[in-house]
Homo-oligomer: A and B are copies of this chain.
């Protein structure tokens, strides 16, 4: 079963935007047992797109096309399909009525260019007739084509809700590959590679992939098998081996994020947390509150960006700041203690540091960060020197701070600071 993907968008062949759709669609298709033979990325160009589409229909059974479906004039996909496959466009009245209802429903003004979305090539089947997203399928000879929006979130939803189920109705794979992702924080990629050297040879039927996902490293385990349960057991066994080798550096599997793991642990232990953020500027709070139901354990946070606010809001002593500076072990300990007392939570987590690009000194260069955790009547603190630019320092700091909470609650030792 030849399967290919066509990605449309000028922004993707001019260095402006990195494609997400080819990557995502190929992973989805593989999970149905369909290996993608190629991904072709082209601009919103009549001739190129015509020739690419024409060639694809001649050779492939399943063809996923993304992009060029919107209401604007650079959206050419439907017109080109009409020409290449010789299918005149027709106005689908049901789609048009539905669009008009939808815009009314969300209080949006009807705009004439929205009508473009209701013109479809003959034989096209709207994928989500009750939805708000455009996208249709079309069969041509031996080929089945799926046309999806280019906006990644929409494309993914269409892929998962309509395309994959539709493909699985038509095609039963002999073996199915199953994946698991193990997420690692605190170990370098080359360290992980060394650990895996022996393991890859030993577990012949298992494929490993290693992907840096700053500041984390993700390991994928892939197993092919006839039955789901069988491959699932093999995955479980392999995961256990990997966890045995990497210990508590593995913090989650699959879609789970660090903030979700921390949230689960807090809920499990019935504990609450409050934050005192300086250099992260609210990022830790943002991450914690990205988890639905986080109000159960997250009480409040204070972004103490100025020294004055550290003193006024958290009771950090002016003398501490004058003597040691606001980026210091002494300050972060007072911050952690202060926020815990004020918020009356079980844990008080504090970070202070120099995110850069300016503000660094010889003694405290950019990337110098202190983390403090006040819990169970004690205050833990540590110093780090993270590398990278402002956004990376902020992100690593937030990750390390969350990892402190995870490790504390899970009874693992900390990754010591410097």
Q: Tell me the A residues contacting B by CB distance below 8 Å.
A: 10-20, 22-28, 30-31, 35-45, 48, 52, 70-74, 106-109, 111-114, 151, 153, 179, 181, 188-194, 196-197, 200, 208-212, 214, 220, 275, 277, 279-286, 288-290, 292-295, 298-306, 308-309, 312-313, 342-343, 355-358, 387, 390-391, 394, 418
What's the minimum C-beta distance from A196 to chain B, rounded to whole angstroms?
7
Bound complex: CA of A391 vs CA of B153, how far in Å?
Answer: 12
Q: How far is the CA of A44 from the CA of B114 in the complex (A)?
A: 42
Partner of A72, one of B189, B281, B284: B189
Give every chain B residue within 8 A of A17 (Cβ-Cβ).
23, 209, 211
Q: A73-B193, A107-B418, A302-B313 are in contact. List 10 more A-B contacts (CB 8 A).
A: A10-B220, A14-B26, A14-B36, A18-B19, A114-B190, A151-B214, A300-B306, A300-B309, A300-B313, A302-B302
Collect the chain B residues with CB atoms within 8 Å of residue A295's CB: 305-306
Q: List 8 A-B contacts (CB under 8 A).
A: A11-B209, A11-B220, A12-B23, A16-B220, A72-B189, A151-B212, A282-B303, A289-B355
CA distance A292 to B359 in the complex (A): 10
Expressed in whole angstroms, the minimum distance between the Cβ of A105 and any Cβ of chain B is 10
Decide: A73 and B196 in contact? CB cutoff 8 A: yes
- Write out the residue numbers on chain B whose beta carbons fall within 8 Å of the beta carbon of A282: 275, 277, 281-286, 289, 301, 303
Contact B289 A300 (CB under 8 A): no
Chain B residue with the shortest CB-CB distance to A345: B306
In the complex, what residues of B have CB within 8 A of residue A208's CB?
Answer: 74
Partner of A357, one of B112, B188, B292, B391: B292
Would A15 and B30 count as touching, CB distance under 8 A?
yes
State whether A41 and B38 are in contact (beta carbons under 8 Å apart), knowing that A24-B15, A26-B13, A111-B191 are contacts in the complex: yes
Q: A300 — nearest CB in chain B belongs to which residue?
A: B309
Q: Chain B nearest CB: distance from A65 CB in Å?
A: 14
Specify which chain B residues have a CB less than 8 angstroms from the CB of A111 in the assembled complex: 188, 190-191, 193-194
B301 touches A289 (CB 8 A): no
Q: How far is the CA of A334 from the CA of B354 in the complex (A)?
A: 33
Q: How far, in whole Å, are A280 and B111 apart by their CA atoms in the complex?
A: 32
Q: Which of B12, B27, B191, B418 contacts A14 (CB 8 A)?
A: B27
Smallest distance from the beta carbon of A183 to chain B beta carbons, Å? 13
Evaluate whether A20 and B23 lie within 8 angstroms (CB atoms) in the complex, with A288-B281, A295-B305, A357-B292 already known. no
CA distance A283 to B108 in the complex (A): 27
Residue of B nearest to A392 (CB): B153
Q: Cβ of A28: which chain B residues have Cβ within 8 Å of it?
A: 15
Which residues of chain B have C-beta atoms less than 8 A from A312's C-beta? 342
Q: Do the beta carbons of A16 and B209 come within 8 Å of each other?
A: yes
Known contacts: A281-B289, A292-B357, A358-B292. The answer to whether A73 contacts B109 by CB under 8 A is no
Contact A290 B20 (CB under 8 A): no
Q: Closest residue of chain B to A390, judged by CB?
A: B292
**By the criterion CB–CB under 8 Å, are A209 and B10 in contact?**
yes
Contact of A37 among B45, B190, B214, B302 (CB under 8 A): B45
A17 to B211, CA, bound (A): 7
Known: A23-B15, A286-B281. A305 touches B309 (CB 8 A): no
Contacts of A191 in B (CB 8 A): 109, 111
Contacts A10-B209, A18-B23, A295-B305; A290 near B390 (Cβ below 8 A): yes
> Complex Cα distance A11/B42, Å?
21
Contact across chains for B302 and A300 when beta carbons are under 8 A apart? yes
Bound-state CA distance A220–B42 (Å) is: 17
B275 touches A285 (CB 8 A): no
